[in-house]
Amino acid sequence: MLRILYERFQQGYRTGPFPRQEPQLPDRFRGLPRLHPDQCAPGCRDCAERCPFGAIRRENGKIALDLGRCLFCADCPACPHGGLEFSTDYRLAVRRRQELTITADRGPELAAPLDQPLKKLFGRSFKLRQVSAGGCNACEADVNVLGTLVFDLGRFGIQFVASPRHADGILVTGPVPENMREALLATYAAVPEPKVVIATGACAIGGGPFIDAPEVHNGVGNILPVDLFIPGCPPHPYTILDGLLRLLGRREVAR
């Protein structure tokens, strides 16, 4: 026992200083994509045609990228000319689905807080029921890691609970296959009003790699009203935490 206490003392304080201090992410981290239209050849459509998930398209003559469809592929095949790269910016969460579409001169509109009555109600005590609706366990793992001492989600008054009857909302991962539809609806119905819905990961936002499959509902937004979209495949724990804190008004709205 004394040895365990000694080892713990040697480790020191392990909880990260976020959000008081920005996290130090490695250069290989794939965060917010950056578009460089100056690298595009006239009439080139390679990016729109090569992306296997349809995340890139032309919008009013400009390249537009849908973060809700992007899987942040390690070896992104979309642009062979260097017109797309990934930054280390982990801040991606938004309130409305359309705000996930970015261009070279317009990034995502980072999530604004809940309306004042809900912000007052949930601002210091926010309980969530996590629903894995056909997920691969990647998003679920990054949600679970928020409970470790490095992130210590509980210090913000945010906790995951076992029963939807004890929750203020649900956090959904996965593309919502037909076999999970009724379970998702029953869980949502069991959460007392007022309540929120959070779509976490590309699958929960738009179906991910399973988009338009016959047994998939292309995410939770086609079934329930969504209050917060957190893109990524999977989203980094800091991306999830940043989104939750912005929703509760615990981080500034501006970039």
pLDDT tens-digit profile of 56-73? 887 676 788 999 999 998
16 falls within a domain:
no
pTM, to two decimals: 0.91
129 falls within a domain:
yes
Q: Are 171 and 195 in contact (CB under 8 A)?
A: no
Strand runs labelled E in the chain: 33-35, 56-59, 62-66, 84-86, 101-102, 126-132, 158-160, 169-173, 196-200, 228-230
- pLDDT above 50 (res 254): no
58 falls within a domain:
no
Q: Please tell me the predicted confidence (pLDDT) of residue 217.
A: 93
29 falls within a domain:
no
* Confidence band, pLDDT 50/70/90 cuts, at residue 80: confident
- When comparing pLDDT for 59 and 132, which is higher? 132
Q: What angle do CA 155, 156, 157 make, to 5 degrees?
A: 95
Q: How many domains does the chain have?
A: 1
For 187, the domain range is 116-247
6 falls within a domain:
no
Domain of residue 132, CATH code:
3.40.50.12280
- pLDDT above 90 (res 174): yes
Contacts of 80 (CB under 8 A, 6+ apart): 46, 50
Backbone conformation region of residue 137, classed left if phi is above 0, alpha if psi is from -120 to 50, else beta: left
Q: What is the mean pLDDT of the chain?
A: 90
Strands 33-35 and 126-132: unpaired
- pLDDT above 80 (res 155): yes
- When comparing pLDDT for 106 and 237, which is higher? 237
